[in-house]
Structure 1
Amino acid sequence: MSRVLPAGRRLRWMTAVAVPALLSPLAGCSSSSTAVEACMAKQATSVGSVDLTGTYTGEGDAKAVTLTLRPPVGRSGGSVTVRNWPTGDWYRSELGDTFNGSGTWDVDYSGGSGKPPHVSLSLTSPRLFLNDDTLDKLSIAEGSGRTYLYENDDPDVCPKFRLKMTSSGAPGPGTKSSR
């Protein structure tokens, strides 16, 4: 037997059913404060060049990509080699969708107070790329022994283009980091 509820009780009943149903997709989300933390590690707030040297292999949209950061010669930066790196729109007709190349890299803190550092790439081979001609800025995530470099194009979702450190080029014991 079906019973008709008064309008006020009907609204409360619909709210009691609808709100949990609308919130249930959020239950799959981690309690992490960002999507980056949920799928990789915590965004780095302080990191030195020496901590990032090593080889990174791609995940997600970067599946075939390899990036190697070599140690700095001076106080900061170093050399970089990329394989299957995404070509920007400007050079796609000349180089294809991806290219193999090299150049230099550095940890960039220019975002100002409270802004996390990022890895800045200056690719000079197979040709000189100007800023934004290709992917040349990578955010950094670290935690639980893992280091990631990733394109931070949408902070609300797990980065599609991400690279995980697979071998470290960090110095041995007794060597100081450039933090």
Structure 2
Amino acid sequence: MSRVLMAGRRARLLTAAAVLALLSPLASCSSASTAVEACMGKQAASATTGEVEGTYVGEADAKGVKITLKASDTGTGGTVTVRDWPTGDWYKSELGETFDGSGTWDVEGGYEAGDHAQVHLSFTEPELFLRDYTVDMLSVAKDSERMYLYEDDDPDVCPTFRLRRT
């Protein structure tokens, strides 16, 4: 092999090594799972109704919020009651910044690779809420000691709307 070709190959290898060295700090940046893990436990790949059932109280932006999930006899979801739950823009003029209400819930997701478990809420009281007018989908995180429900809105930071099971 000629010296020119060898020098070109060496230059490409050095360039590739330099690019990898520059990108390696980015690889260690916080991802959704590590940001969640750092403050709440591992993002649950799947969850059952029995695992998620319970009473949760708010932390951070959810301070003062309370949610209770009761399982149905069928084992798929159940009833939900909330206190000081945030409203969407559409309902703020009618219900205020928060509301107390009830409805149903079920666990979704976690069936395909890369999915994670989510709790879907459907409010019927004080009146039927349309999707996206309030927080109605919460992700699940857990470790050996804690279980959290949280709004999965920014994957690079610890979720600010989170509720810990009591």
Shorter-chain-normalised TM-score: which range?
0.7 to 0.9
1:128 aligns with 2:134: no
1:113 aligns with 2:95: no
- Distance in 1, matches of 2:99 and 2:156, equals 29
Task: Report the alpha carbon displacement of residue 73 of structure 1 after superposing the two structures with TM.
Answer: 2.4
- Counterpart amino acid of residue 76 in structure 1: T
Task: Report the alpha carbon displacement of residue 155 of structure 1 after superposing the two structures with TM.
Answer: 0.7
Task: Report the alpha carbon displacement of residue 157 of structure 1 after superposing the two structures with TM.
Answer: 0.3
For residues 16-40 of structure 1, what are the alpha-carbon distances to aligned partners after superposition, in whole Å with 9 as ceiling and x for unaligned?
Answer: xxx9xxx8xxxxx889952110111
1:41 aligns with 2:41: yes
1:54 aligns with 2:63: no
For residues 55-83 of structure 1, what are the alpha-carbon distances to aligned partners after superposition, in whole Å with 9 as ceiling and x for unaligned?
Answer: 00000000000000001221301000000
- Distance in 2, matches of 1:32 and 1:118, equals 15
Asked if structure 2 preserves the Cα contact closer than 8 Å seen for 1:104 and 1:122, the reply is yes
- Name structure 2 gaps, 5 residues minimum: 1-21
- Residue equivalent to 1:143: 143
- Counterpart amino acid of residue 43 in structure 1: Q
Aligned residues: 140
Root mean square deviation of aligned Cα: 2.2
- Distance in 2, matches of 1:146 and 1:75, equals 22
- Residue equivalent to 1:75: 75
Give the direction of change, closer, same or farther, for the CA distance of 1:31–1:137 in structure 2 (3 Å limit). Answer: closer
- Residue equivalent to 2:163: 163
Give the direction of change, closer, same or farther, for the CA distance of 1:38–1:73 in structure 2 (3 Å limit). Answer: same
Which has the larger share of helix?
Answer: 2
- Residue equivalent to 1:90: 90
Identity over the aligned pairs, expressed in percent? 60
TM-score (norm 1): 0.73
- Distance in 1, matches of 2:69 and 2:59, equals 17
- Counterpart amino acid of residue 116 in structure 2: P
- Distance in 1, matches of 2:60 and 2:161, equals 6
Classify the secondary structure of the residue corresponding to 1:34: helix
TM-score (norm 2): 0.78
Classify the secondary structure of the residue corresponding to 1:70: strand
- Residue equivalent to 2:16: none
- Counterpart amino acid of residue 107 in structure 1: V
- Name structure 1 gaps, 5 residues minimum: 1-18, 24-28, 167-179
- Counterpart amino acid of residue 51 in structure 1: E
Q: 92-101 vs 73-82, which deviates more?
A: 73-82
